[in-house]
Amino acid sequence: MEANAVISLRGLKKSFGSLQVLKGVDLDVYQGENLVILGRSGSGKSVLIKIVAGLLRPDEGSVIVLGQDTSRLDIRAWQALRTRIGFSFQNSALYDGMNVKDNLEFPLVRNKRHLSSRDIDDAIAKVLDDVGLSHTLYQMPAELSGGQKKRIGIARTLILQPEIMLYDEPTAGLDPVTSVEINDLINEVQQRYNTSSVIITHDLTCAKQTGNRLVMLSEGKFIRQGRFEEVFDTDDPRVKNFYNYNFITDHERTE
């Protein structure tokens, strides 16, 4: 494991039945960086971060997060580690039955039991202000737009002040303007909360705006890594096709 790596994956393999999704992945995520993992749908990107967050177990390989080998953690140790990891879901995963305030309060009151109700209210007000949605405090998730849901989902993870942020397709299903706003928010979170982030996406605009470093996952393995320009400076058809399809319009494609 590299000295300043916050996440270190070695020889990671994962299969679902006969389908091998990850075929021996090695990866280091360094302190303070925004790492983008690019890849087509079904390439195993989401599986990778779900393994990091402990939602899935790898078949083989080691996962070291913030210096802890996750295969050796018991339930309590996992719970303690998870307070240091934020996970923003593709569909936001806000709790339907709770308003925004209760959504934000939920992880806080269960993990920081010593906090007074005033401390909790202050923490909620701060994260809502950070994501620019202070006016939504008592709204239900069904009353929020897609972009607002993403922001509240990010706020819910930020309330525990994590050291690592994992974003699963942060701009999926959003219009271009809202996508850019979410990209800006990801960068703001990195600077304001001093987080290290892993951003899973197939949106090249998101990758370019947020990523300090990119890795490209194809058929269960990383095939390219580096800065945005470095990753796409290749004749590899898998990379070329991915780039072209992101920037060619639907109209051009049908022509």
Partner 1 sequence: MNISRFFLRIYEIWRFVVQFFKEVFLPPYEYKEIVNQFFQVGIRSLSIITLTGFITGVVFTKQSRSSLSEFGAASWLPSLMAIALIRALAPLVTALIIAGKVGSNIGAELGSMKVTEQIDAMEVSSTNPFKFLVASRILATTVIVPILALYMGFVGLMGAYLNVHHNEQTSFTSFFQSAFTKITFLDIWMLLLKSAVYGFTIGVAGCYNGYNASQGTVGVGRAANTAVVVSMFLIFIEEMIIVQLTNYFKHGG
Q: Which residues bind partner 1 (CB under 8 A)?
A: 50, 53-55, 79-80, 82-83, 85, 87, 89-91, 93-97, 106-107, 110-111, 113, 153, 156-157, 160
Question: H or E stretch including 69?
Answer: strand 68-69
CB of residue 97 to partner 1, shortest distance in Å = 8
**What does the alpha-carbon distance between residue 39 and residue 141 come to, in Å, rounded to a whole number?**
30
Question: In the complex with partner 1, which residue's Cβ is closer, 66 or 93?
Answer: 93
Question: In the complex with partner 1, which residue's Cβ is closer, 89 or 242?
Answer: 89
Token pair in block for residue 244? 């072209």
Question: In the complex with partner 1, which residue's Cβ is closer, 80 or 248?
Answer: 80
Handedness of CA 69, 70, 76, 79 (dihedral sign): positive
**What does the alpha-carbon distance between residue 38 and residue 120 come to, in Å, rounded to a whole number?**
37
Question: In the complex with partner 1, which residue's Cβ is closer, 169 or 231?
Answer: 169
Question: In the complex with partner 1, which residue's Cβ is closer, 130 or 169?
Answer: 169
Distance of CA 86 to CAs 22, 161, 209, 218, 225, Å?
23, 8, 20, 25, 24
- Contact by Cβ (8 Å): 214, 45: no
Give the amino acid at 2.
E
